[in-house]
A = this chain, B = another copy of it.
């Protein structure tokens, strides 16, 4: 949000091609930005599992830079919630306990609800078509049991609302929460109960969108939020309580 890598306007020289950057731009990013990006990728992809200790000296050697940029990168990632820093104790890839996961999940859903109610008055036929297409994809993937593809389409489905909401801060915070929780796909699934239920709920939302009914669409979205809450009240523990949940993102 803050450190905008100032998008420069088109340069006058060589303005022929318009799909790729004409002059392969020099990497103007600072070292710590590059480090941060690489570390983020590794964390999100699962190469760095939750709980992995991130030693400054080790990382510095690995990246071939001094400890300064490493510290900077770790600090930013800590602010994003991807790593956890304990003063004088070092950095660790953040582990979410079951409760923390549910907390994030609830907030994420609340943001989605807001996105829906903001987006609907702003959506045109193109966006509605996109929603329909994505919904159909999700149905297909669910029938074939393609969980990962399902979640991908699901994410795209929700992203339509986020983008259409026109609220940039919302988009940032949503993205951040998504990154934090995306590593625990399996548990997200456990919370949802079944793909079928998710699909049914989304179908209802699409209908409301087509009708331009912001209120019921938002209401439908809001009903999601109570799912993890109920799970908390009952004794069905999808993850052992207060136990770190570990990454299960293997095997496609």
**Could you list which residues of chain A lie within 8 angstroms of chain B, going by C-beta atoms?**
1-6, 28-30, 33, 71-72, 75-76, 78-81, 83-88, 94, 100, 103-104, 106-107, 110-111, 113-114, 117-118, 167-170, 173, 218, 222, 225-226, 229
CA distance A174 to B249 in the complex (A): 30
B79–A167 CB distance below 8 A: no
Closest B residue, CB atoms, query A229: B118
Residues on B with beta carbons closer than 8 Å to the beta carbon of A87: 3, 5-6, 28-30, 33
User: A79-B80, A225-B114 are contacts. A167–B2 as well, Cβ < 8 Å?
Assistant: no
Residues on B with beta carbons closer than 8 Å to the beta carbon of A169: 100, 103-104, 107
B103–A225 CB distance below 8 A: no
> Which one of A3, A5, A81, A111 has the greatest number of beta carbons of chain B within 10 Å?
A3
Counting every copy of the chain, the complex holds: 2
B168–A100 CB distance below 8 A: yes
CA distance A4 to B72 in the complex (A): 18
The listed residue (B33, B100, B167) touching A107 by CB distance below 8 A is B167
CA distance A79 to B229 in the complex (A): 30
B3–A107 CB distance below 8 A: no
Residues on B with beta carbons closer than 8 Å to the beta carbon of A1: 81
The listed residue (B28, B168, B226) touching A103 by CB distance below 8 A is B168
Closest B residue, CB atoms, query A89: B6
Q: Shortest distance in angstroms between A15's beta carbon and chain B's nearest beta carbon?
A: 25
* Supplied contacts A3-B84, A33-B87, A103-B169, 19 more A-B pairs, CB within 8 Å: A2-B85, A3-B78, A3-B86, A6-B87, A29-B87, A75-B75, A75-B76, A100-B168, A103-B167, A103-B168, A103-B170, A106-B114, A107-B167, A110-B110, A110-B170, A113-B113, A117-B226, A173-B173, A218-B222
